[in-house]
Amino acid sequence: MNYGHFDDKNREYVITNPKTPYPWINYLGNDDFFSLTSNTAGGYTFYKDAKFRRLTRYRYNNIPIDNGGKYFYIKDGGTTWSPGWKPVKTELDHYECRHGMSYTKFKSSKNELEAEVVQFIPIGFWGEIQKVSLKNTSSVKKDIKLFSFIEWCLWNAEDDMTNFQRNFSTGEVEVKDSVIYHKTEFKERRNHYAFYSVNETIQGFDTDRETFLGLYNDLDKPDVVGEGHSKNSLAHGWSPIASHYLEIELPPGAEKELIFMLGYVEVEKDQKWESKLVINKQPAQKMISAFDTTEKVDRALEELRIYWDNLLGKVSIKSKDPRLDRMVNIWNQYQCMVTFNMSRSASFFESGIGRGMGFRDSNQDLIGFVHQIPERARERIVDIASTQFEDGSCYHQYQPLTKKGNAAVGGNFNDDPLWLILSTTAYIKETGDYSLLEEMVPFDNDASRAKPHFEHLKASFYHVVENLGPHKLPLIGRADWNDCLNLNCFSEDPNESFQTTENEKGGVAESLMIAGLFVVYGKEHVKLCRQIGKDKEADEAQLYVEAMIDAVEEHGWDGEWYLRAYDHFGKKIGTSENEEGKIFIESQGWCSMAEIGKDKGMVEKSLNAVKEHLDCDYGIVLNYPAFTKYYIEYGEISTYPAGYKENGGIFCHNNPWIMIAETQLGRGDRAFEYYSKIAPSYLEDLSELHKVEPYVYCQMIAGKEANKPGEAKNSWLSGTASWNFYAITQYILGIRPDYQGLIIDPCIPKAWDGFRMIRTFREATYDIDISNPDHVSKGIKQIFVNGNPLEGNLIPLLAKGKVHQIKVVMG
């Protein structure tokens, strides 16, 4: 069953049934002020950090789901309804939610009254605009009563939901004209307040939740709306809200437009007060005046469209498959940008409280957006590297508000440091900006311990070299990329975290996944060293890479596939000798991408084993057979039911590693088969089963041993987005930035006639037309650059500011 459709021309997903299988959401904001909004107007808003600067309240795991948001109540005679369907849930004559690029539009109607709500955050602005349009399509006059509603969060979202004995006594508001100000704790230690305004004289307001709703009512039937007028309540403690009340007369055919703004203000300490206990409202008034007319709002919305035109125009393709085109041109790139902004912090599956920006996460995310905003990619790399220690280890996460590392989810994940080599080399290949390597970057955010960024890369490389186990394979530490493979934990206490509990000493658990990762990015480190003239360092590093290859060939091969690990006691994991968990995806992906033992047939055997044992209708599962009992020496991975998450689930993040490895073998049909199994636009007809949004990737799809194979969870914030964009554009479509130019190396299904990609690279535009007359998967017969034949498949750097015609013939 479908719940909507793609509108590729307008870059929107159009939802036509509000009762989606799960809330389908969008993100507003592009810099440091953000909102999450669902297809029924649920969600919340925050500045920079969803934990410490949350403006509006949201309750996760609620009943009914997705209760709480930015709502409007329309009272038209005896009928009350909402443009987003919720919270009132009156059956509408027409409902439509259009999720676009950083904006969402609701367009609904009931009893010949049309309502449209457009939500967006102007570029570089600390406020969300809600343009509300009401139109009377009947032949009689309508007297409408409109109520807005938001619920303020008391800033710290974690404290807000736990420390009730204090928070029920701290809420403070001010109301002046048509603006409701939230100033809780402003007179103490805060220099910020929030406000909710409308550009029209109001007939009333409410700021106390109990007064507005009634103590025993839900959001669908507030007392104030039922009675048809506000009570002008002023919150003192308890739970402050903001609700405007407007009476609107609409003659037949008449239309009324209103501009609501939810804003955030910071002021200097000596400018906090207008008079005693009266806040300085000038910054808020300045913000309100910037968007107090429809013309100003429409202009800002057009600027937002142009902004996304520019971002999405850096890479675009034209194939014969609209599902592929919309993923590459629109939704995959859009999700990569959202994930860059959020990391794993705030979605409808991540509360914004428990996690900051991940070290490994943010490094990997960069490969999906570096082509769009390279200057911010560079800034992100420096932020990440600044949370590293001199020995190469690092904080696993850091807070977006302070950019300081934190150990809230543990440390010593031994794969973490290597991802810095990925992000740095990806950035330099895209931009040619080697100056990053000379920038002085702190260790542990301590400027006195700063060294050139290149020294951070060396520290990352040698952290592996200096932490090897008895098989000369990398020690896993607390865990590797798979946080749930906790080989040194041995947890028997259900109240402790597998990731933060103190690991047992003296273990020799080793990771084949890190071994493959080290070879891939060890080679990249060597290549970078040679690029900058550090040949001696390159030669030394190459010896360690070769030693790792030897160690994997000798101790990491099980006969038909690569082992996954050695446990705390030196026993094999991911071997045919095991009863459960015989084969894992991570080591097959990384050791195959590293091409370890390729000349011996190991890579081909490994990938064949993936197809035989791990593949299913909905993607490639993480391990097989799934664990059916708790293995204390394996940790959290064996706590999940079979087929879910890391225990035999389809962890979409790692599927592209197999896709890339398949392209390196030249098997384009299989690579694209894996791609299309998890790409959202190919799953639209499965929406009832899949549940989450059909326009963005999710983290996990239930695997073949699950109770409900194909059901997905944890959409939006996942490394899946960047890795799939990387795999499809750079390895399947095969147009890949390198230090000296663009590599052309497609590996596509044999049935394809070809495709076209327009790629902006180092301020030049490459219009690349690839034809496949012989219907091969891989191989280049001829390349013409602006009509001239080219030797090899590396297009050199071409003149900036011009469009260059590239003709590629496969064969």
Of 59-68, 203-212, 390-399, 409-418, give the range with the top mean pLDDT.
203-212
* Whether residue 483 lies in the annotated active site: yes
Q: Has residue 354 got a pLDDT over 80?
A: no
Give the number of residues written for the chain: 811
Cα dist. 292→190, 244, 295, 298 in Å?
28, 16, 9, 11
**686: DSSP letter:** G
Please tell me the predicted confidence (pLDDT) of residue 236.
Answer: 94
pLDDT over threshold 80, residue 400: no
> Tell me, what DSSP letter sits at residue 447?
E
Could you tell me which residues come within 8 angstroms of residue 789 by beta carbon, excluding any fewer than 6 positions away? 782, 783
Helix axes 720-727, 359-369, angle to 10 degrees: 40
Q: What is the dihedral of CA 779, 784, 785, 789, to 10 degrees?
A: 110
Q: Residue 145 and residue 613: Cα distance in Å, rounded?
A: 61
Instruction: Report the pLDDT value the prediction gives residue 581, as an integer from 0 to 100.
Output: 98
If we measure between CA atoms, which residue out of 322, 172, 298, 320 comes closest to residue 240?
172
Count of Cβ atoms closer than 10 Å to residue 312 Cβ: 19
pLDDT (mean) for 11-33:
97
DSSP string of 502-550, one letter each residue: PPPTT---EEHHHHHHHHHHHHHHHHHHHHTT-HHHHHHHHHHHHHHHH
pLDDT score for 411:
77
Q: Would you state the structure tokens that stand for residue 688, as one six-digit string?
A: 């009832």
- Range list of H helices, 126-253: 157-160, 164-167, 209-213, 223-227
Q: By C-alpha distance, which of 631, 516, 625, 613 is closest to 568?
A: 631
Integer CA distances (angstroms), 441 to 447, 527, 757, in order: 7, 22, 37
- DSSP notation for 710-775: T-EEEESSSTHHHHHHHHIIIIIS-EEEETTEEEE--B--TT--EEEEEEEETTEEEEEEEE-TT-
Distance CA(468)–CA(473), nearest Å, equals 5
pLDDT higher than 80, residue 686: yes
**Average pLDDT of the chain, as a whole number:** 96
Under a CB-based contact definition with an 8 Å cutoff, are residues 751 and 775 in contact?
Answer: yes
Rg (CA), the chain: 28
Query: What secondary structure letter does DSSP report for 346?
Result: B
Whether residue 16 has pLDDT greater than 80: yes
pLDDT(285) > 80: yes
Average pLDDT of 362-386? Answer: 96
Distance in angstroms (rounded) separating the CA atoms of residues 810 and 710: 36
Angle at 83 between CA 77 and CA 88, to 5 degrees: 65
Is residue 138 exposed (0-12), middle (13-18) or buried (19+ Cβ within 10 Å)?
Answer: middle
Q: Please tell me which residue in 66, 365, 480, 483 is annotated as part of the active site.
A: 483
| Chain center to CA of 272 | 36
Q: To the nearest whole percent, how much of the chain has pLDDT over 90?
A: 94
Give the list of residues 6+ apart from residue 588 with CB closer than 8 angstroms, or none: 561, 562, 606, 607, 609, 610, 614, 658, 661
Query: What's the pLDDT tens digit per position in 290-301?
Result: 999 999 999 999
User: Which residues are registered as beta bridge partners of 647?
Assistant: 644
Minimum mean pLDDT range among 170-174, 503-507, 594-598, 779-783: 503-507
**Pairing relation of β-strands 741-744 and 780-785?**
unpaired
SS3 content of the chain, % helix, strand, coil (to 5): 30, 30, 40
Q: Is the peptide bond before 694 cis (omega within 30 degrees of 0)?
A: no
pLDDT at residue 149 above 80? yes
- Here the tokens at position 112 are 């010949």
d(CA 682, CA 500): 38
pLDDT of residue 404: 85
Element (H, E) at 240: strand 240-250
* pLDDT tier, 502 (very low <50, low <70, confident <90, very high otherwise): low
Tell me: pLDDT of 95 over 90: yes
Question: What is the rounded CA–CA span in Å between residue 71 and residue 595?
Answer: 54
User: Does 655 have pLDDT greater than 90?
Assistant: yes
630 to 344, 444, 492, 640, 690: CA distances (angstroms): 27, 37, 10, 9, 28
Tell me: the pLDDT tens digits for 423-469?
999 999 999 999 999 999 999 999 999 999 999 999 999 999 999 99
Mean pLDDT of 786-811: 98
pLDDT > 70: percent of the chain:
100
Contacts 24+ apart (CB under 8 A), 489-495: 489/635, 489/636, 490/568, 490/632, 490/633, 490/635, 491/632, 491/635, 492/632
Neighbours of 123 (CB within 10 A): 14
Helices assigned H by DSSP within 6-95: none
Single-letter amino acid code for the residue at 370: V
pLDDT digits (tens, 9 = 90+) for 559-602: 999 999 999 999 999 999 999 999 999 999 999 999 999 999 99
